Chains A and B, each alone.
Chain A
């Protein structure tokens, strides 16, 4: 391990030989729109290494030159308090960027320049400020002297309106020029009160004598030490040793006593005052705060009663849109792959090869691709809700309810989507800013029954509880939802450490979403799903094909799958389920609706539904059927869902999800079966 890179993130992109342009800025400043304006369709969505934070990269072409544009996570500041901020900060510290474009919202300049000052304090000089949303500022009566602003701030300032494309060409020209070293800048940095400056001077002096001075701006390290930044304290401790570090910490405590406040507040206060003074030099009109139409809308949309009704309506329409278009497409793709398999099967002489290709590979690829329309459409719908500004209101209105279970309001969205399909639901967790919230939401998500499990639940309840089928089905839904929320509470307390995030949410201006941007994003994200989840699903279906065809096909009682079922039988019998159920559950991992179809294969009656109903009624009691439906709902998520969790949260959390669901379903299954027996059901 190289200690000097403790905080720095060194991008691999350096090796590609392209000059790197990083976009920094607060959330909701139009960063994504600028990114699209700079890169057009030449972009790619991925994750930052090791974390579930989305990373967008694209190529900017300007005349005959190409640049790599990296969109840093949108952050308000550069502290060590969230993963997003750490990613942005470590990236900037690593001097990965030849040019940093700091995108600021000109209608809310004071707060936006806070981040700008933090970037300047790091010692980064190649910065361009994109003064975005210039149209909204104008509407609010705010106006600037841009030339003066450049002089005061010390870096080039380009007014832009990313939505209309205004200023984007000028921005490209400036980026290209600066990347080639044609611009000289002199960024201004805040000056603090005398006692703080003295301490910064003292600490900087001490740090200058360490190797840290070669790698970091010592003034930045000193300021971060004063705010008790945990990451910086750890770093500096390595070089100074505990004794000198203690001395510094004692100084800091004295200063905190002097100000009667923690220094992060004092420094933030003085930084804002400094920014205020700067602004008075170049802002011509500041504008006034008036209640707007959007404020009136917010009062209704965040109201606990009207807001929730609106929310239900919006999500009803969302599902209607997605499933009306998506389901026929899904079925079409599914059928196409089945026919394709049947078509080419006779042409493959070798029996093993035929099975592998037709059932394993084509079946696997088919089930991945048949998810694509649903995933894509849900992303389109979500992206439109996000861009319109409604999502922040939806999250706000659900905050109180979700918080009871230790989840933030925003996690409501993935939970609702899960009723349709868990795959896009899990992928939508990336809109949660907090790592803890994201993982927690992802882990409990599979417990919300998706539409495939609805098929199993309605079939079994229909066959065994004709009179009370609706009631029993609702009961199964209620149990699994209850377990999902309870799990959130328990996992949040014991498994996923971390403080609950405090509730502060920006309510961005309502806007008319752009179809083009929604489509580009959704396409990129769904492609990523195919790439990442696809491999898991493919290998899964090849494994299942192998188990069900060797050494003899299913139905003979000799296949590995059936043998495996018999191995598990002593265990599943604890919940009253025999080997047939065990085999069905194994196949259900591919797709939960397989649980019923597998019975047909075992009995050798194919898809003859009437015969199947007859046989099943003989084979199991209604208590056993209830347990089977419940366990199908709760056990291991289907392969596509596991793939999605792996894509978003990595192998570790995918494993945790599988084990947790398996444990939970076993406990519940055994419990329900034995209570049922005891009650004489």
Chain B
């Protein structure tokens, strides 16, 4: 099986770590994510995937809940 290095946040599994490389989407949504710390270069840990319910990710000791739509727009480089 080939493990992709670059995935959407929505494709990551629980407990996986990675670094955000891109944030897509409209200006407004992007502004909000960038300010909240989801910007290229920030390290994240997936606490909970979106099935069922929202995604929960950790940025340091901060926890963020995200909808599926947003999780699709965040591109992450997986940590091996």
Contact of A264 among B30, B45, B61, B62 (CB under 8 A): B30
Q: Which residues in window 24-59 of B have CB below 8 A to A?
A: 25-42, 45, 47-48, 52-54, 56, 58-59
What is the 8 Å Cβ interface bit string for chain A, positions 296-312, against chain B (1 contact, 0 not)?
00110011110100000
Would you call B66 an interface residue if the criterion is a C-beta within 8 Å of the partner chain's C-beta atoms? yes
Tell whether, in the assembled complex, residue A76 and residue B56 are in contact, meaning their CB atoms are under 8 Å apart.
no
Q: How far is the CA of A79 from the CA of B26 in the complex (A)?
A: 14
Q: Which of A275-315 contact B (CB under 8 A)?
A: 276, 287, 289, 291, 294-295, 298-299, 302-305, 307
In the bound complex, CA of A298 to CA of B28 (Å)? 27
Is the beta-carbon distance between B54 and A114 smaller than 8 angstroms? no
CB of A499 within 8 A of CB of B54, answer no
Smallest CB separation, A169 vs chain B (Å): 26
Q: Which residues of B contact A507 (CB under 8 A)?
A: 56, 63-65
CA distance A298 to B59 in the complex (A): 16
**Chain A residues, Cβ within 8 Å of B62:** 105, 107-108, 111, 506
Stretch at the interface among A36-44, A185-193, A265-273: A265-273
How many cross-chain pairs have Cβ atoms below 8 Å apart between A and B?
A: 153
B54 with A262: CB separation less than 8 A: no
Q: Quick check: B61 and A504 within 8 Å, CB to CB?
A: no
B65 in complex: contacting residue of A108, A289, A302, CB < 8 Å? A302
The reply to whether the CB of A136 lies closer than 8 angstroms to some CB of chain B is yes
Q: Are B58 and A269 in contact (CB under 8 A)?
A: no
Question: Do A289 and B61 form a contact, CB below 8 Å, given A265-B22, A502-B69?
Answer: yes
**Does A422 sit at the interface, judged by CB under 8 A?**
no
- Which residues from B are CB-within-8-Å of A506? 36, 62-65
Could you tell me the distance in whole angstroms from the C-beta of A263 to the nearest C-beta in chain B? 11
Complex contacts, A501 vs chain B, CB 8 Å: 32
Q: How far is the CA of A299 from the CA of B58 in the complex (A)?
A: 13
Q: Are B40 and A265 in contact (CB under 8 A)?
A: yes
Partner of B34 from the list A77, A307, A397 (CB cut-off 8 Å) is A77
Report the separation of the CA atoms of residues A505 and B55 in the bound assembly, to the nearest whole angstrom: 10
Q: Is the CB of A140 within 8 A of B61?
A: yes
Interface size on B, residues (CB 8 A): 41
- CB proximity of A281 to chain B, nearest CB, Å: 18
List residues of chain A with CB within 8 A of the CB of B56.
295, 298-299, 302, 507
| CB-CB under 8 A for A504 and B65, given A79-B31, A269-B40, A303-B53 | yes
* B61/A503 in contact, CB under 8 A: no
Nearest neighbor of A137 in chain B, beta-carbon distance: B61
Contact pattern, B 1-36, Cβ under 8 Å of A = 1, otherwise 0: 000000000000001010000110111111111111
**Bound Cα distance A287, B59 (Å):** 12
The residue from A76, A142, A268, A289 contacting B40, defined by CB atoms under 8 A apart: A268
CB distance from B22 to the nearest CB of A (A): 7
Q: Are B54 and A273 in contact (CB under 8 A)?
A: no
Residues of B within 8 A of A437 (CB): none
Instruction: Flag whether A109 is at the interface (Cβ < 8 A).
Output: yes
Is A399 a contact partner of B41 (Cβ separation < 8 A)?
Answer: no
- Chain B residues with Cβ under 8 A from A304's Cβ? 52-53
A151 at interface (Cβ–Cβ under 8 A)?
A: no
A291 CA to B48 CA, complexed, in Å = 10
Q: Does A132 contact B (CB under 8 A)?
A: no
CB of A261 closer than 8 Å to a CB of B: yes
Across the interface, which residues of A come within 8 angstroms of B42, CB to CB? Answer: 110-111, 272
Known: A295-B56, A505-B65, A507-B65. A272 touches B31 (CB 8 A): no
Is residue A411 contacting chain B, with contact meaning CB distance below 8 A?
A: no
User: Is A13 interfacial (CB-CB < 8 Å)?
Assistant: no
A396: Cβ under 8 A from any B Cβ: yes
Q: How far is the CA of A303 from the CA of B52 in the complex (A)?
A: 7
Chain A residues with CB under 8 A of B58 = 289, 295
**A251 contacts the other chain (Cβ, under 8 Å)?**
no
Residues of chain A within 8 A (CB-CB) of B67 are: 399, 403, 502-504
* Beta-carbon nearest neighbor of A506 in chain B: B64
A265 contacts which chain B residues (CB < 8 A)?
22-23, 30, 34, 39-40
Interface centre among A115, A136, A273 (most CB of B within 10 A): A273
Instruction: Say yes or no: A261 contacts B22, CB within 8 Å.
Output: yes
Q: Is the CB of B37 within 8 A of A81?
A: no
Question: Is A228 located at the chain interface by the 8 A CB criterion?
Answer: yes
- The answer to the question of A75 belonging to the interface, with a C-beta cut-off of 8 Å to chain B, is yes
With both chains docked as a complex, state the minimum distance between the C-beta of A405 and any C-beta of chain B, in angstroms: 15
Interface string of A600-618 (1 = CB under 8 A from B): 0000000000000000000
In this complex, which of A111, A136, A271, A403 has the most chain B Cβ atoms within 10 angstroms of its Cβ? A111
In the complex formed, the residue of B with least CB distance to A85 is B35
Interface residues of A in 515-547 (CB under 8 A from B): none
| Neighbouring A residues of B61 by C-beta, 8 Å | 107-108, 136-137, 140, 142, 287, 289, 509
Q: List 23 A-B contacts (CB under 8 A).
A: A76-B37, A114-B37, A261-B22, A262-B30, A265-B30, A268-B35, A269-B40, A269-B41, A272-B39, A272-B42, A289-B60, A295-B48, A295-B58, A303-B52, A303-B53, A502-B28, A502-B29, A502-B70, A503-B66, A503-B70, A504-B66, A507-B56, A507-B63
Q: A272-B41, A504-B67, A506-B65 given; name 14 further pairs at CB < 8 Å.
A: A105-B62, A111-B62, A261-B22, A262-B30, A264-B34, A265-B23, A268-B35, A272-B39, A289-B58, A304-B52, A502-B28, A502-B33, A504-B38, A507-B64
Interface residues, chain A, with chain B CB atoms under 8 Å away: 75-77, 79, 81-82, 85, 105, 107-111, 114-115, 136-137, 140, 142, 228, 261-262, 264-265, 268-269, 271-273, 276, 287, 289, 291, 294-295, 298-299, 302-305, 307, 392, 396-397, 399, 403, 499, 501-509
B residues engaging A (CB < 8 A)?
Answer: 15, 17, 22-23, 25-42, 45, 47-48, 52-54, 56, 58-67, 69-70
